[in-house]
Amino acid sequence: MKIVLLTILLGLVGCSTVKNMAIKSVTPIFVDGANQLNTERNWPFFRDAMPANLKLYEILYLQDKENLGLLATLVKGYAGYAFGIAETLAYGDELAGYDDSVHKKNAIALYTKTLDYGLEYLQQLGIQRIDLLGLDEGKLTSLLENKLSKSDHMALLYFAQAWGSLINLQKDNIALISHVPKVKVLFDWVCHKNANIENGVCDLYYGQYEASRPLMLGGNPAKAVQIFQAGIKKRPLNLLVRVAYLQYSVLPTFDRTAYENEAQVLRQEFLKWEDINRDTLDDKSEYKAVEHLNLFNAIAQKRFEFMEKNKNKILEGSNQ
């Protein structure tokens, strides 16, 4: 369907007005299609299929550069692919002890591209790069309030997620580290208005935010644990929240007991989740009712596989 639409649209290149109208008319189809990716269960399929979709969105956007729907889709698409694929593989490299990870480089490149599209999106709404970097937190919040609306929540959320992840992947870059308060302003603005946006992304961010910062820079590991545990209780079928708890709060403390307790739950839950993959006619599974979490759980499963593969090396010397 997308290929047919693209063929028709490209055939209209000679008439820019008609072409732009045609692209705008089908944009909701592409946006809805991108949102439906959350139901994808197969991590390798998502890894292999998503780049072609992203290039298609880019081709359409180049024909209609004022199309905020396509821009928002590109922001979400590149941020999601960077997080779900490149950063997940980079995390596997990190656990395995690889110092020079090509996947980390790919994640940085993809997040950088996300920021480029995000900046284009914000600039069309009257927010410039200099505003993001130069305004203090209070003035930046006011600017977001004045320029953005509910329809902009998704694009800003994934722009902030990409910005924060880019910083987290380059903690030796002092200039980037100084941007952390600005990233939090963006998350605060979105998450205070829509705490449940994207099925727990706010919980993931705030837990990571407290767990990843050094104590001297205001990090609060105990608060991170509270945030993750509250998120797990609130969204027990979003297994990415539980995996993030292991990634950011448990493994860094080398707590074997806490790891094994959480890992045992995850092993059982992944088996339940996989059951709906084996029998699509089974509508009794609680995971069948939340198929919009499939992609989150597929990413979680891949990260958990890396944890399980490397756990003994990581937890060596911890509680026995």
State pLDDT tens for residues 79-95: 999 999 999 999 999 99
Q: What pLDDT score was predicted for residue 292?
A: 92
Answer yes or no: is pLDDT of 9 > 60: no
Answer yes or no: is pLDDT of 241 > 80: yes
The tokens of 128 are what?
A: 């410039």
Who has greater pLDDT, 9 or 164? 164
Could you report the per-residue pLDDT of 197-209, keeping only the tens digit for each? 999 999 999 999 9
Contacts of 245 (CB under 8 A, 6+ apart): 207, 225, 228, 229, 231, 232, 262
171, part of any domain: no
Q: What pLDDT score was predicted for residue 213?
A: 86
Instruction: State the number of CA atoms in the 13 A half-sphere of 35 facing the CB.
Output: 14
What is the extent of the structural domain holding 276?
A: 200-320
Q: Round the average pLDDT of the chain to a whole number and report it.
A: 89
Q: What pLDDT score was predicted for residue 283?
A: 61
Closest CA to 74 of 25, 100, 111: 111
Confidence of residue 320 (pLDDT cuts 50, 70, 90): very low
Confidence of residue 187 (pLDDT cuts 50, 70, 90): very high
Count of structural domains, the chain = 1
140, part of any domain: no
Q: What pLDDT score was predicted for residue 189?
A: 98
93, part of any domain: no
Could you report the per-residue pLDDT of 116-153, keeping only the tens digit for each? 999 999 999 999 999 999 999 999 999 999 999 999 99
Q: CA 2, 293, 314, 215 torsion: positive or negative?
A: positive
295, part of any domain: yes
Distance CA 311, CA 256 (A): 9
Q: What is the pTM assigned to this prediction?
A: 0.89
Least confident of 2-6, 103-107, 156-160, 290-294: 2-6
256, part of any domain: yes
Confidence of residue 182 (pLDDT cuts 50, 70, 90): very high
Answer yes or no: is pLDDT of 249 > 80: yes
Contacts of 196 (CB under 8 A, 6+ apart): 202
Closest CA to 110 of 72, 82, 84, 80: 82
97, part of any domain: no
Q: What pLDDT score was predicted for residue 28?
A: 58
Confidence of residue 225 (pLDDT cuts 50, 70, 90): very high
Distance CA 296, CA 300 (A): 6
Burial class of residue 312, CB neighbours in 10 A (0-12, 13-18, 19+)? exposed
Distance CA 263, CA 226 (A): 18
Residue with tokens 């199309």: 67
Alpha helices by DSSP H, 125-220: 129-134, 137-147, 153-168, 174-177, 180-193, 201-212
Distance CA 65, CA 71 (A): 8
Residue type, 94: E
Long-range contacts of 173-177 (CB under 8 A, 24+ apart): none
167, part of any domain: no
Contact indicator for 96, 307 with CB cutoff of 8 Å: no
65, part of any domain: no
Answer yes or no: is pLDDT of 99 > 90: no
